[in-house]
Structure 1
Amino acid sequence: MRTMVWLALAALAFGAHASEEDSTPCDNVENDQQNYDCALFSRTTAERELDAAFADLLERIKEQYAGQEAKVSDLSKRLNNAETQWKQLRDADCKVETFDAKPGQAFDTAQNTCLAQRSDDRSEYLQSLGLQ
């Protein structure tokens, strides 16, 4: 489990932060506290990016269906419902994935890593939606 967490954190740190020149808590992770700090940072960053991807998608819908308020409203409602259900599934999946983690920092690190991974995946999906 620990190896999976380290590999996941490395992938997240590289993928989500490779273009950033600023130092992050994911630089030079060498101990459990730094691992926890990186996981929390990754989760926070991934959730912020998820919110931005969702907001961008809603804006693309408004642009695509300009002047068609009924379509904008209907599709926006469907997307909001889908996002709510997806978050419930993400949270349930992460509860399964972290089932054996011991309460405390190890659990929190695993939970944050899982939520960050799922949120990154969802952001990519939302960005890929090509409404036409």
Structure 2
Amino acid sequence: MKRFFFSILCALTFQAALPVSTAFAQDECNEIMTSLQIDKCSEASKAGADSQLNTSYHQLLARLETQYQANPELGEAYAVTVKESQRAWIKLRDANCHLEAFEIEPGKPAYVTTVNSCITGMSRERSVYLDKIAPDISAGSDAQTADVVCPSSDFNTFLASFSESAAIQKVFVQRPLTFVVTVNAEPEPRQEKRSLKDDQIKFPLVPERAKREAEGLMLTVKEQRGDKATAILQKPDTDYVVEYRFVRGQCWMLTEVSDFAL
């Protein structure tokens, strides 16, 4: 009996914050007076949460396809990882929610309501989580990047614009960005590769001309072959060397930064 009332309380809590489907009107869940309303509202809320989860999941896959046009193999690997993660999470969610209702007799309305409420809450949380992966920068609030277009398909022209504008860099940097640093190690220094998410990338990645001149840095094109190009930032007579690797899709995209300085 105690468990039954706890289930009702959970259902009521979720109804206050979650939309319901057209099959059961919102106003019918505002003031729940009967157990039948609890059951129907929990089903409606679960359906709404499932729908939102499905939308967030497919929007994420669409973002990956768009953001990784310059490197489709990496984008596909990312998408496969997302799909595997989602399948594993669904199994975990369902197992957790059946555990939540373990003390209630299966098949009873209270059991179904408890499971539905649990699934609703976890699915809403998962939707928020998926929405934060590979965020769509163009849809953000940064007005400086909203109208940025590809500077040029010619790499030299693109690099000149890219190096002078943090706004352009924010748009034409792949997420996650591969960042390679050189670290002290025995018997000799080694390179360590990291994968940076959007909030871990510090712009500008390439200093503008005025700063380069003030610090004695030189930015040059090291190599370009077809749809791949490498630029190098260095300070003569020092060990300061940073390489920027780009891949061309619809536009050039920075995919990897390697800092060789200790």
- Please give the TM-score of this superposition, normalised by the length of structure 2: 0.46
Counterparts in 2 of 1:1-132, with a 5 A limit? Answer: 1-17=3-19, 23-24=25-26, 25-103=28-106, 104-131=108-135, 132=175
How much has 1:66 moved relative to structure 2? 1.7
1:94-121 CA deviation, whole Å, 9 max, x = no partner?
1111101123111111111111111111
RMSD: 2.0
Size of the aligned set, in residue pairs, is 129
How much has 1:14 moved relative to structure 2? 3.0
State percent identity of aligned pairs: 23
Cα distance in 1, alignment partners of residues 39 and 72 from structure 2: 45
Q: Give ranges in structure 1 of 5+ residues lacking alignment.
A: none
Secondary structure of residue in 1 paired with 2:85: helix
Cα distance in 2, alignment partners of residues 85 and 8 from structure 1: 25
Whose helix proportion is higher, 1 or 2? 1
Q: Which amino acid aligns with 1:98?
A: A
Whose strand proportion is higher, 1 or 2? 2
- Please give the TM-score of this superposition, normalised by the length of structure 1: 0.86
- More relative contact order, 1 or 2 (CA 8 Å, 6+ apart): 1
Secondary structure of residue in 1 paired with 2:57: helix
Cα distance in 2, alignment partners of residues 98 and 70 from structure 1: 43
How much has 1:3 moved relative to structure 2? 4.5
